[in-house]
């Protein structure tokens, strides 16, 4: 299965090229550029300015292109791709929403959704659960985020304030609900682990290995032989 993580990195500002180039051009207009000395000094000035700009100018955040996860199951891949499209649209709305609490809540929900899709990619049997998310919850969540961003920039009024408050309350309910859904994805894993542990414990008891005398060698004897 191909697993592609969402990567984000920073790169130096493009302004360093313009600033250094402008300084080099200004130097060439002031000093005689037919002299090798001034050519060398101009290049040195360009290099120094370029290095300083690279070091001190604010860096630009770059979001690497995110490729869809491929599991080999066409139905599951299509569902995961649609789910990630919803997540990206909601994340883009987060940058437009001014309310810090709502922004934080939506970002938390998006992180949880990404974890859900990541886990579901390894559990094709959970396809029906993903379809429920896509058929109602994610479209509704996106619509709420869009409404909130739109109403947030409308002059305050009783209806607007009431709608914003209801959306905020709904988002506070959705955040733990999605976390619970993520936890349910691992419910069978937890049951399998518990069953394996119980079987091992019963085998140890049946063979008389559950106490200190494991495999016919007591821990006390081991310590004495050291």
pLDDT digits (tens, 9 = 90+) for 148-185: 999 988 877 788 889 999 999 999 888 898 888 888 87
Q: Note whether 100 and 172 are same-domain residues.
A: yes
Average pLDDT rounded to a whole number, residues 201-212: 66
Q: Note whether 100 and 179 are same-domain residues.
A: yes
Q: How much is the pTM?
A: 0.57
Least confident among 30-39, 153-162, 193-202 = 193-202
Q: Is residue 45 in some structural domain?
A: yes
Q: Note whether 93 and 150 are same-domain residues.
A: yes
Q: Note whether 148 and 78 are same-domain residues.
A: yes
Q: Note whether 29 and 127 are same-domain residues.
A: no
CA–CA dist 76, 134 (Å, integer): 12
Domain that holds residue 27: 8-62
Q: Is residue 214 in some structural domain?
A: no
Asked if pLDDT for residue 219 goes beyond 60, the answer is no
**54-94 pLDDT per residue, tens:** 888 887 765 545 565 666 778 888 888 899 999 999 999 98
């Amino acid at each position: 299965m191909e697993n592609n993580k969402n990567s984000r990195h920073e790169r130096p500002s493009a302004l360093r090229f313009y600033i250094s180039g402008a300084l080099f051009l200004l130097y060439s207009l002031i000093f005689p550029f037919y002299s090798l000395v001034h050519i060398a000094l101009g290049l040195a000035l360009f290099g120094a300015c370029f290095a300083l700009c690279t070091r001190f100018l604010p860096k630009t955040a770059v979001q690497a292109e995110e490729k869809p996860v491929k599991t080999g199951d066409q139905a599951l891949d299509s569902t995961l791709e649609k789910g990630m499209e919803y997540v990206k649209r909601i994340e883009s709305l987060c940058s437009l929403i001014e309310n810090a609490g709502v922004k934080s809540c939506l970002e938390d929900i998006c992180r949880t959704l990404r974890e859900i899709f990541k886990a579901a990619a390894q559990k094709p049997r959970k396809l029906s659960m993903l379809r429920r998310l896509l058929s109602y919850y994610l479209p509704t969540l996106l619509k709420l985020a869009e409404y909130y961003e739109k109403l947030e920039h409308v002059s305050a009024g009783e209806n607007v304030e009431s709608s914003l408050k209801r959306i905020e309350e709904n988002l506070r309910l959705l955040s733990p609900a999605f976390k619970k859904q993520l936890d349910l994805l691992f419910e069978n894993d937890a049951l399998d682990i518990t069953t394996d542990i119980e079987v091992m414990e019963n085998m140890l008891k049946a063979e008389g290995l559950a106490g200190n005398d494991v495999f016919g060698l007591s821990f006390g004897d081991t310590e004495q032989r050291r």
